[in-house]
Structure 1
Amino acid sequence: MSRIVLRAALILAAVALAGAAEAKGCIKGAVVGGIAGHAVGHGIAGAAAGCAIGRHEANKQDKVKSQNDAAQPAGR
């Protein structure tokens, strides 16, 4: 159990040291991936993969939002 707490603390410290702009989508993905990875014995790998997927999804949402904003005519 202490190994889990230590790993979680290390992940949280790494996320906290990363820039806020870089962490968009990563924190949520890392938590979900870490839990899923822990269930099969690969918590760190799951957290890393979850972070990458979370960032990818956040970037896709930002791209769609910026395209929608550009397509709308300017209002008064």
Structure 2
Amino acid sequence: MKAGFIKAALAAVVLSSAAAGTANAAGCMKGAVVGGVAGHYAGHHAVVGAVGGCLVGRHIAKKQAEERAAQRQQVRAE
């Protein structure tokens, strides 16, 4: 059972990172791992959880990058 879970989680991470592309991969890997584990324990849906985690991780990383850019612009303007 553990070997199957590990294979499914690894496949989910690889698929989600391939879908994200290299430019948008920030946050995807961490989100995919967390989502895969959560999906596994929530009814053996590791792949679905990993894909969802990747999307959420990318969204959070994008928001954080935008906030950092806004802070840098604010510091330069002062």
Q: TM-score of the superposition, structure 2-length normalised?
A: 0.79
1:55 is aligned to 58
CA separation in 2, counterparts of 1:47 and 1:12? Answer: 6
CA separation in 2, counterparts of 1:50 and 1:12? Answer: 10
CA separation in 2, counterparts of 1:48 and 1:13? Answer: 10
2:8 maps to amino acid: R
Identical positions, percent: 40
Aligned residues: 73
Q: Secondary structure at the match of 2:76?
A: coil
Structure 2 matches for 1:4-19, cutoff 5 A? 4-14=5-15, 15=17, 18-19=21-22
Structure 2 matches for 1:35-46, cutoff 5 A? 35-40=37-42, 41-46=44-49
1:36 maps to amino acid: A
| Rg comparison, structure with higher value | 1
Unaligned runs of 5+ in 2: none
Q: TM-score of the superposition, structure 1-length normalised?
A: 0.80
Q: Which has the higher contact order (CA 8 A, sep 6+)?
A: 2
1:25 is aligned to 27
> How far apart are residue 4 of structure 1 and its match?
1.6
Unaligned runs of 5+ in 1: none
Q: Structure 1 or 2: larger helix share?
A: 2
